[in-house]
C-alpha cells in the first residue's frame, strides 16, 4: 500500500493538471488537492517504513471510503452504466489491479478456510 499511495502522490505532483481534472470531475474544490497529495505522501511513507500501520490503515480506509462515496454521488449514472466493465477482463492497468485484488481476496478466503479446517481436525 505504501507504493500505491506514495506513487499516487508523486504522480499528482508531476502531473498536477491530471489531479485538477480529477478533482473537478468529482466536484471537489481544487484547494484540497495539495492536502490530498500530502496525505498520500504521509501514509505512503508510513506504510513503506512499516510505522504506525494501524493509524495509516484507518485513515486510508476513511480517505478511500469518502473518495468512493463522493465519486458515486457525483457520477452516479456513469458509475451505474459502467458496471458491466467489472465482468470483462481487459489488459489494462485497472483490470489487472482489480483482478490481482480478486486473487489476493481469494487467497485470504483459502487460507482462512484451511486454518479453520485445521482447527476443527486438531
Residue 9 has pLDDT above 60, yes or no: yes
Residue 49 has pLDDT above 60, yes or no: yes
Residue 67's pLDDT is 86
Distance between CA 32 and CA 27 in Å, rounded?
Answer: 11
Domain ranges of the chain: 1-81, 86-122
Residue 121's pLDDT is 58
Among 68, 64, 36, 50, residue whose Cα is nearest residue 3? 50
Residue 119 has pLDDT above 60, yes or no: yes
Amino acid at each position: 500500500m505504501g507504493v500505491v499511495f506514495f506513487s499516487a502522490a508523486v504522480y499528482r505532483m508531476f502531473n498536477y493538471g491530471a489531479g485538477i481534472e480529477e478533482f473537478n470531475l468529482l466536484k471537489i474544490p481544487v484547494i484540497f488537492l495539495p492536502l490530498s497529495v500530502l496525505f498520500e505522501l504521509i501514509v505512503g511513507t508510513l506504510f513503506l517504513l512499516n510505522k504506525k500501520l494501524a493509524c495509516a490503515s484507518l485513515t486510508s480506509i476513511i480517505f478511500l471510503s469518502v473518495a468512493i462515496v463522493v465519486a458515486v454521488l457525483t457520477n452516479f449514472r456513469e458509475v451505474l452504466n459502467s458496471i458491466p466493465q467489472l465482468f470483462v477482463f481487459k489488459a489494462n492497468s485497472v483490470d489487472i489491479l482489480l483482478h490481482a485484488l480478486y486473487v489476493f481476496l481469494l487467497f485470504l478466503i483459502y487460507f482462512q478456510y484451511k486454518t479453520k479446517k485445521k482447527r476443527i481436525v486438531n
